[in-house]
Amino acid sequence: MMIVLGLEGTAWNLSCALVDEVDVIAEKSATYVPAKGGIHPREAAQHHAEHMASVVKAVLDVARKDDLAIEGVAFSQGPGLGPCLRTVATAARALSLKFGVPLVGVNHCIAHIEVGKWKTGATDPVVLYVSGGNSQVLALRRGRYRIFGETLDISVGNALDKFARQVGLPHPGGPKLEALARSSKEYIPLPYVVKGMDFSFSGLSTAAAQAAKKYDLADVCHSFQETAFSMLVEVSERALAHAEKKEVLLVGGVGANSRLREMLNIMCDERGAKFYVPEKKFMGDNGSMIAYTGLVMMKSGVTTPLAESRVRPGFRTDEVDVTWQ
């Protein structure tokens, strides 16, 4: 069975993992927490550089103890923050040379999808990928993950976090909003923006912050969720019909939300589609998703020569040939 080491580090989380074809063998992560405010790319990269040796060592110790032969080194090539990506790519190149095994540059968004399929058994789903940095509806078509719909401005996670900050709730806002929304009694209309297959969350976030000055905060949180999630479900439903798929897979940090899961579940039930969500530990950024995607890429014959291993901060999901399915 093939064994691949993977390194993730596109933003906050630095994570190293070892996987084989059926499971995660080892994983060690270190998360950058800014002193105040949002993420600072150079500080995050500094964090990753400082913790690289310890997360890699933790994983290599397991490989050594169990006498496992690493056959490839996968790394998150993009999209993400340039300085963070460069730190991770440098470490990955060094490891690939040290072990004399191929390097595999992995698209971070595709890794979220592949680990979701691996851990749920979904085979050919419409994917709703909702996180702090991304909001997309995708499906495999003619050898690539095509983006059916995406945000025209900020991601839904970013909108939740921005609104939370404006009403004085601590970061990350998503879980706090979800908890508050449970005690809501009424829905307050907020801007619902779907254009074609795309959505927009920036106006919703601003309008919700305005509404919070007048209405009960729990009601505003509830209304924010209902509005934003309805937009996501509407586009997912249309993608399901359009792409003629029978499965929906939810991935990314916002996928932890029970109300979003419930709404997608209802929609799938009504359409006779199957709904899949991976365990929580595979929803956020993790090294295992990079290692596993690297593994399936390698098995299909794809590796990344050193000369093509430069980082790709704007790497799009639909640039990758899905050679493994």
Binding site for Fe ion (CB under 5 A): 285
For residue 211, how many C-alpha atoms fall within 13 Å in the half-sphere facing its CB? Answer: 22
**Of the candidates 288, 39, 247, which has an alpha carbon nearest to the alpha carbon of residue 124?**
247
What separation in angstroms does the CA of 323 have from each of 98, 293, 299, 301?
Answer: 27, 11, 9, 8
Q: Choose the contact partner of 134 out of Fe ion, ligand ATP, none; CB within 5 to 8 A by kind.
A: ligand ATP
- Rounded CA-CA distance 53/42 in Å is 18
- Rounded CA-CA distance 286/111 in Å is 9
Of the candidates 6, 72, 102, 173, which one interacts with ligand ATP according to CB under 6 A? Answer: 173
- Rounded CA-CA distance 48/14 in Å is 6
Q: Does 131 bind ligand ATP (CB under 6 A)?
A: yes
**Interface mask toward ligand ATP for 248-277; x: CB under 6 A:** ----xxx-xx--------------------
Q: Which is nearer to ligand ATP, 1 or 33 (CB)?
A: 33
> At closest approach, how far in Å is the CB of 196 from Fe ion?
25
> At closest approach, how far in Å is the CB of 276 from ligand ATP?
17
> At closest approach, how far in Å is the CB of 306 from ligand ATP?
25
Site for ligand ATP in 272-301 (CB under 6 A): 284-285
Is residue 211 within a helix (H) or strand (E), and if so which, with residue range?
Answer: helix 202-211
Where do the DSSP E strands lie in 32-133?
72-78, 103-107, 126-130
Preceding peptide of 191 cis, ω within 30°: no
Say how many residues touch ligand ATP, by CB under 6 A.
22
**Interface mask toward ligand ATP for 205-244; x: CB under 6 A:** ----------------------------------------
Phi-psi domain of 305 (left: phi exceeds 0; alpha: psi -120 through 50; beta: other): beta
Q: Which stretch binds ligand ATP (CB under 6 A): 44-52, 94-102, 153-161, 300-308?
A: 153-161
Instruction: Name the residue number minimizing CB distance to ligand ATP.
Output: 253
Which residues sit at the interface with ligand ATP, rule CB under 6 A?
10-12, 131-134, 157, 160-161, 172-175, 178, 252-254, 256-257, 284-285
